[in-house]
């Protein structure tokens, strides 16, 4: 079940990223970040009402759970904010590639936060393959590289915060149910970004103008998060995040099909190398 939910979360993650990239042309990163949380809430509420009424969902309000939800919401707010700004400053295929270094960060953050310790072969495989893939995609002499640098740096920072929130996700689902955990985290994150909309008519107008697309992304957000949190009930965070790197291939192909991004062969080779490394980790440890 852990593998199935991880694969599903990878699919929904990639689809969500493609929608986010399209929206990045139509609104600023901060507005898009708020919307990624705010427009997922209606779907969470409907799902919670159905599950609670059916007796399959419980509401957890213990102090340890709420602390984890707060920590997760804070790190996710940073991660999503950096991610949306990265989309605005770089090609989705390049940005998605650098998002994929989050397993490397998890080799450090996961043992410290969750106590989950990967094996030595797994650590070596991640370091070598992720490092080699970044060398492959890094071309400072390429004419377009200078224009991608800001997006790359933002994506790397987002990867670090995504590693932290994956750790808190792993701990939270051990204290509460996946759907209520996801709802609580998303609600807090949306509240964090509400002040950035106060008095900004252009941002509110952008939300109203692109409501349909934002609702679609909101549905994809809840689908991704619920699948991820279910997977974390069965697998350690580094393995779930590793399997989710399947989304990288989808993002690179989608960037070529929908946004006509260049250098497709090189980027796909880079994505395949990273994907190969993280699959090795999953096979070693699962």
Q: Whole domain around residue 223: which residue ranges?
A: 2-52+63-285
Query: What average pLDDT does the segment 235-264 reach?
Result: 73
**Per-residue pLDDT reduced to its tens digit, 126-169:** 676 666 556 555 555 555 555 677 888 888 898 899 889 889 98
58 domain-assigned:
no
256 domain-assigned:
yes
pLDDT attached to residue 206: 87
18 domain-assigned:
yes
Q: What's the structural domain count of the chain? A: 1
pLDDT band at 236 (very low <50, low <70, confident <90, very high): confident
- Which of 190-207 are b and which e, b meaning 16 or more Cβ less than 10 Å from the residue's Cβ? bebbeeebeeeeebeebb
pLDDT attached to residue 46: 93
> Which residues are within 8 A (CB) of 11 and not within 5 positions of it... i.e. 6 or more apart?
246, 247, 250
What are the φ and ψ backbone dihedral angles of 119, each rounded to 5 degrees? -75, 165
Q: Structure pTM?
A: 0.73
57 domain-assigned:
no
19 domain-assigned:
yes
- What angle do helix axes 178-193 and 63-89 make, rounded to 10 degrees? 60
């Amino acid at each position: 079940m852990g593998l199935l939910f991880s694969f599903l979360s990878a699919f929904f993650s990639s689809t969500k990223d493609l929608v986010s990239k399209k929206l990045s042309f139509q609104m600023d990163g901060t507005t898009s970040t708020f919307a990624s949380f705010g427009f997922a809430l209606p779907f969470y509420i409907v799902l919670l009402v159905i599950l609670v009424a059916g007796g399959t969902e419980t509401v957890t309000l213990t102090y340890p759970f709420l602390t984890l939800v707060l920590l997760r919401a804070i790190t996710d707010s940073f991660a999503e904010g950096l991610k949306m700004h990265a989309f605005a400053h770089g090609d989705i295929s390049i940005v998605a590639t650098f998002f994929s270094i989050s397993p490397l960060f998890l080799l450090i953050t996961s043992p410290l936060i969750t106590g989950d310790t990967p094996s030595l072969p797994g650590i070596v495989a991640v370091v070598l393959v992720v490092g080699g893939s970044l060398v492959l995609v890094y071309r400072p002499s390429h004419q377009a590289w200078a224009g991608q640098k800001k997006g790359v740096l933002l994506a790397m920072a987002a990867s670090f915060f995504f590693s932290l929130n994956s750790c808190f996700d792993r701990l939270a689902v051990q204290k509460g149910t996946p759907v209520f955990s996801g709802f609580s985290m998303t609600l807090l994150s949306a509240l964090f970004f509400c002040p950035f909309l106060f008095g900004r008519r252009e941002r509110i107008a952008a939300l109203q103008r692109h409501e349909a697309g934002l609702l679609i992304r909101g549905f994809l957000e809840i689908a991704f998060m619920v699948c991820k949190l279910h997977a974390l009930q069965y697998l350690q965070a580094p393995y779930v995040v590793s399997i989710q790197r399947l989304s990288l291939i989808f993002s690179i192909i989608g960037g070529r099909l929908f946004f006509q991004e260049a250098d497709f062969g090189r980027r796909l080779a880079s994505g395949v190398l990273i994907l190969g490394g993280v699959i090795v980790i999953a096979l070693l440890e699962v």
